[in-house]
Structure 1
Amino acid sequence: MRSLICVNLLAAGLLISLNLRAEPVPGPSESASLAPAPSSGDQVSAQLKTMLTDAIVKIGELEVWQKKIVEDEVIPQYQRFIRDYRQTGNRVSGVADLEILQNYLRFYAPKTLKFQNKKVLTILKVDTACTKCTASTPGIRDLVKNRLQRRGLVPVWLNDEEVSGFKGKALNDRVTELAKTKGLAGALVMQWGQVISDDIDDIHGEDKNYFTQSYLFLRDMEKQEGKLDLLENDRFETAVARLLTDSFSSLGAKLFQAAQMARMTTRKEVMLEISGFKDFQHYLKIRELLGMYFKNVGSIDERRMTKGRISLALQTDQSADDIRKQVAQAAQDPAIGQGHETAVKMEVQ
């Protein structure tokens, strides 16, 4: 009997031990490893990214190279493509800047450059006396290489020895000359370093200031130049990314303007009448939304304005029927009539 009790007690102890191992009680270290709740900054970033991705969908079908740029450049730099930003608590409002976004997605060397060679003579000129500057070189080199390759360009790296003694504008001119001599498509110069102040009365003399500047030359296209001033806590990589984004956005804008001018001789005028909007602000919102749906439409001019009715003249190489289809598609957008009792009417004449 005594041995039976001992066996039962042993079995019960074993069962308790197994249960404790199967369902452990979290200790302090396990609780600390749980993911924290999203911060307000994370929530704001998520809202802005969603705002941008929703706008990208309205652009239409993207090509493979454009999708790659959106994924690797646009979304990580979402702040560059949002305007009229406002924040109230954890809620934000703003507008995705479709004009800048579309311009940024226009340039692709295999389709844009007439010059057969797609190689770009590239140099990174860094202030070697600046530890912060030299430490950023590997990251900037990768960033520049990837940005060029996504545009169908091939970087050809230039050694400092070939341009020894050149800096600033003189360096830009020298690299451009070498690119032309070598029969390349263009030149890219990135320069960054520390700003040395000669002003002994500068009250901020102990603060360290830096600069980053870019120069992009491509054959048959306008030169793109930019410069940013940095503080000690700013990252060179972020500044370089911004300068390159601005350069390719500007190139895209120039391409769009050139295409518009080329179409002017073949374009005709199509009249669109809009009525039923509540007020002028509502009309401006409608016009902005229409711009997302119109394809190959140049200027949009307001011709006649009366109370509750506005006539627009569209310069386009499309037929009136094509414009009607795009207007009908836009009319399905709930944002056009959202929050307004009156029905908006849009008629192509």
Structure 2
Amino acid sequence: MVRLNYHLTLLFLAAILLAAPGRAANVQETLQKSVIDSQSRIGEMEPWQKKIFDEEVVPQYQRFIKDYRPSSVGIQVDVDVQAIKKYFTFYAPKVLDGTDLKTVIHLGYAEDCSKCADALPVIKRLAAARIQRRGLIPLWLKPQDPISRAIKDLSGQKLNDKLSEYVEEKKLTSVLSLYWKLAPPDPEDRSHVDEIRYQVSSFLYFPKFSDNDDFRREGKVEILEKDSIVAAVARLLSDSFSELGARKTSSSSVVDTDAGDTITLTVSGITSFQQYSSLKTKLTSQVKELSSIIEKRFSRGEVVFAVKSTKPTSDLKLVLSGIGLEPGHLAVLDANDESIKMEIR
């Protein structure tokens, strides 16, 4: 109960701090500056790392904030330096020993969606830049290529499997697939039947990431009509490369990252992709009691995680309660030994 009151007090103070005109912008400026200033704690960076820091870490500064709170001298910010280091740990020429390292990039979207079509040019530049910063050469599929015809009507797991077979057959380094479309209506959710949502998915695959092992990462989110498809794609790419960096870091040492019992964590009341991003960032970087977080489903204002915790649910729910998001905070609705249901208020 003491921890819960502490979190609520922080939220109350933060609300006062943000209530004054212009304070919200000042807070964001302070958070971004704190991430920029963290370079002194990171140490000397190689040129490719500095480029990723400047062009990916700084623009996504909120992702790397563990916590922040008002203090007598302004705002005290806790930057997740370890998360930043993992984010730019992977550089293909060093990890994979080569220079001619090619990544097939597949971009697909629903042709009957004007917002989807408008996002294509920006997403194409975004995907190419992320790949190139990690020492990989983008390889775009041409319409006349046999593989393009073979995957034309595929989506989901069938598409990912076909692309995986292609890079293995051609002995290419990896494949990145991004697909976005209007989300199909949920027949069980009658209260949001007229609500427009978009579904964005990603797939990153390295057939030979380490000795006798591959790397495969699939991601999927649903966003609201007012949210940005490009921002959703950027977030999925960041998730993929963060996991890639963590995998590279852990490959040299044996670490039990799956310690604890599996718990189903359901969070409802999500009103925007920004709020979802804030939630996932806080869970990943701030809640040390979670040894593993796997997103199972995100749709219709609700996200479901399979988490592993070093604490029982009775303790974990107190840790999670009152976590501040942007906007709102987490509140427990129900909890038992196997699951926790929460709501953003």
* Bucket of the pairwise TM-score, normalised by the shorter protein: 0.5 to 0.7
Deviation at 1:198, TM superposition (A): 4.8
**Alignment of 1:72 onto 2:55:** yes
How far the C-alpha of 1:93 sits from its partner, in A, is 3.3
Q: Is the 8 A contact 1:106 1:252 kept in 2?
A: yes
Match of 1:122 in 2: 105
The residue aligned with 1:100 is: 83
Q: How does 1:8-157 map to 2 (within 5 A)?
A: 39-86=22-69, 91-114=74-97, 117-157=100-140
Cα gap change, 1:91 to 1:234, in 2 (>3 Å): farther
**8 Å contact 1:226–1:243 — kept in the other structure?**
yes
Task: Give the Å deviation of 1:164.
Answer: 1.4
Cα contact 2:186–2:193 (8 A) shared by 1: no
User: Structure 1 residues 201 and 123 mapped into 2: Cα distance closer, same or farther (>3 Å)?
Assistant: closer
How has the CA–CA distance of structure 1 residues 183 and 202 changed in structure 2, closer, same or farther, with 3 Å as cutoff? same
Instruction: Report whether the alignment pairs 1:188 with 2:189.
Output: no
What is the one-letter code of the residue matched to 2:59? P
1:177 aligns with 2:160: no
CA distances 1:141-163 after superposition (whole Å, capped 9, x unpaired): 00000010011111111244341
Provide the residue aligned with 2:283 in structure 1.
Answer: none
1:242 corresponds to which of 231, 235, 248: 235
Q: Any conservation in 2 of the 1:120–1:155 contact (CA below 8 Å)?
A: yes
Matched residues in 1 for 2:95 and 2:30: separation? 34
Aligned residue number for residue 315 of structure 1: none
- In the TM superposition, residue 130 of structure 1 has moved relative to its aligned partner by 1.0
Relative contact order, higher structure (CA 8 A, sep 6+): 2
Give the letter aligned to residue 232 of structure 1.
Answer: E
Distance in 2 of aligned mates of 1:181 and 1:136: 31
Give how far 1:202 is off.
1.3
SS of the residue 1:165 aligns to: coil
What does residue 291 of structure 1 align with? none
Q: Give the TM-score of the pair, scaled to structure 2.
A: 0.61
Give the residue type in structure 1 aligned to 2:135: G
The answer to whether the aligner puts 1:258 opposite 2:251 as a matched pair is yes
Distance in 2 separating the partners of 1:151 and 1:194 = 31
Deviation at 1:86? 3.8
What is the rounded CA distance, in whole Å, between the counterparts of 2:70 and 2:216 in structure 1? 37
The answer as to whether partners of 1:113 and 1:219 remain within 8 angstroms in 2 is: no
1:145-190 deviation line (CA, Å, top 9, x unaligned) = 0010011111111244341121001101111111122221011110
In the TM superposition, residue 94 of structure 1 has moved relative to its aligned partner by: 3.1
SS for the counterpart of 1:220 is strand
Match in the other structure for 1:309: none
Change (3 A) 1:202 1:90: farther
Alignment gaps of 5+ in structure 2:
1-20, 210-214, 256-345
Which protein shows a greater Rg? 1
C-alpha separation between the residues in 2 aligned to 1:139 and 1:90?
A: 40
1:259 match: secondary structure: coil
Structure 1, unpaired ranges of 5+: 1-37, 263-349
Q: Percent identity?
A: 37
Q: Partner of 2:200: helix, strand, or coil?
A: strand
The letter for the 1-side match of 2:93 is: P
1:213-228 superposed matches below 5 A: 213-221=201-209, 222-228=215-221
> Per the alignment, do residues 63 and 200 of structure 1 end up closer, same or farther by CA in structure 2, a change over 3 Å counting?
closer
Contact 1:163 1:171 in 2 (8 A): yes
Q: Judge conservation of contact 1:127–1:194 (CA < 8 Å) in 2.
A: yes
8 A Cα contact 1:44 1:91, kept in partner: no
Distance 1:137 1:115 in 2: 31
Question: What is the count of residue pairs matched by the alignment?
Answer: 226
Sort the Cα spacing of 1:228 and 1:92 in 2 relative to 1 into closer, same or farther, 3 A: farther
The structure whose residues are more often helix, as a share, is 1
